């Protein structure tokens, strides 16, 4: 049953979760990607294999982790391996079907910045950095990205190349010797984007319920391209919303309890 009561953030998370399947081995980023991947695991893809950067494989957290070092990941994983083994064997070995990443800045070709805003030597904001995201972006078979739209985040030119997407577009990845598919999906709070097969410029293929073309353009720093046959994203079901909200509620209670215990 479809629900009419949902937020833009909930629509983004649920839309992102739907693209995952039982067969996927997914390298999960913290934050919005983690929420989407775990909603998929708790609904239509119970056999998905979730991998986190700390070396946890087949993890099934009851609450969303605060970081890759959250004990919840190791406690619920099928196994935990060393970080070098995770990257050298699992990621670079080609076992990861999907790298699911977030971003602070993104451009039209799916290049990601999570390092600095402004000049690197004297930044306006210093961000958490890439961590393993640069390797995930190049070695995963393909990359999914999820983030909220804003003119600060969707920019003509990113301030720093943390994770390489499609570079200047076209066959730039192949010219650099990167054989993986790269960013193939972008899910935001307003819609769903896919790269053009030739140019690799991200194109809007679906608008979330109630979102207009102008809404998309107003939150993006370049001229937006729309698919000829623009779709509307299916609204969340009651079950999807219940699973997401229960997960968020458990997470909030667990983290608030941990904070009180540390006082």
**Over the stretch 126-155, which tens digit does the pLDDT of each residue have?**
998 898 999 999 999 999 999 999 999 999
What structural domains and CATH numbers belong to the chain?
Answer: 8-262 (3.40.1080.10)
pLDDT at 261: 59
pLDDT at 260: 59
- pLDDT value at position 95? 96
pTM for this prediction: 0.93
Q: How many residues are there in the chain?
A: 263
Strand ranges inside 77-222, DSSP E: 79-80, 98-101, 105-106, 112-113, 116-118, 123-126, 142-146, 183-187, 191-195, 202-207
pLDDT (0 to 100) of residue 69: 84
* 53 included as an active-site residue: yes
* Rounded Cα gap, residues 55 and 74, in angstroms: 8
Q: Which one from 53, 72, 201, 240 is the annotated catalytic residue?
A: 53
Angle between helices 8-18 and 32-42 (to 10 degrees): 60
Closest CA to 35 of 201, 240, 256: 240
| Rounded Cα gap, residues 166 and 202, in angstroms | 10
Task: Report the number of secondary-structure helices (H) and strands (E) in the chain.
Answer: 8, 14
Cα Rg, the chain, nearest whole Å: 18
List per-block mean pLDDT (blocks of 10 residues) for the chain, which spans 263 residues. 82 98 95 95 98 94 91 93 94 96 97 96 92 95 97 97 97 96 98 98 98 97 97 97 97 77 57
| DSSP structural state of residue 241 | H
Maximal CA-CA distance, the chain: 56
Distance of CA 217 to the CA centre of its chain: 21
């Amino acid at each position: 049953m479809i629900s009419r009561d949902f937020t833009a953030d909930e629509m983004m998370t649920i839309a992102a979760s739907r693209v995952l399947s039982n067969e996927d081995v997914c390298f999960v980023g913290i934050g919005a990607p983690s929420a989407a991947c775990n909603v998929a695991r708790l609904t239509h893809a119970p056999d998905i294999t979730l991998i986190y950067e700390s070396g946890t494989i087949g993890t099934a957290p009851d609450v969303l982790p605060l970081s890759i070092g959250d004990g919840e990941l190791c406690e619920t994983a099928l196994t935990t391996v060393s970080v070098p083994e995770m990257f050298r064997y699992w990621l670079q070995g080609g076992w990861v079907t999907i790298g699911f990443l977030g971003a602070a800045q993104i451009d039209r070709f799916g290049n990601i910045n999570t390092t600095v805003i402004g000049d690197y030597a004297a930044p306006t904001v210093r961000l958490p950095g890439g961590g393993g995201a640069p390797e995930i972006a190049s070695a995963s078979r393909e990359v999914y990205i999820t983030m909220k739209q804003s003119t600060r985040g969707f920019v003509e030119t990113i301030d720093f190349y943390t994770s390489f997407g499609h570079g200047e577009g076209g066959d730039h990845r192949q010219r650099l010797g990167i054989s993986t598919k790269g960013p193939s999906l972008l899910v935001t709070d307003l819609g769903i984007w896919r790269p053009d097969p030739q140019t690799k410029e991200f194109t809007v293929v679906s608008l979330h319920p109630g979102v207009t073309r102008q809404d998309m353009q107003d939150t993006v720093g370049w001229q937006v391209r729309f698919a000829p046959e623009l779709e509307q994203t299916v609204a969340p079901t009651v079950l999807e919303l219940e699973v997401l909200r229960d997960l968020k509620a458990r997470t909030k209670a667990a983290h608030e309890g941990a904070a009180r215990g540390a006082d």
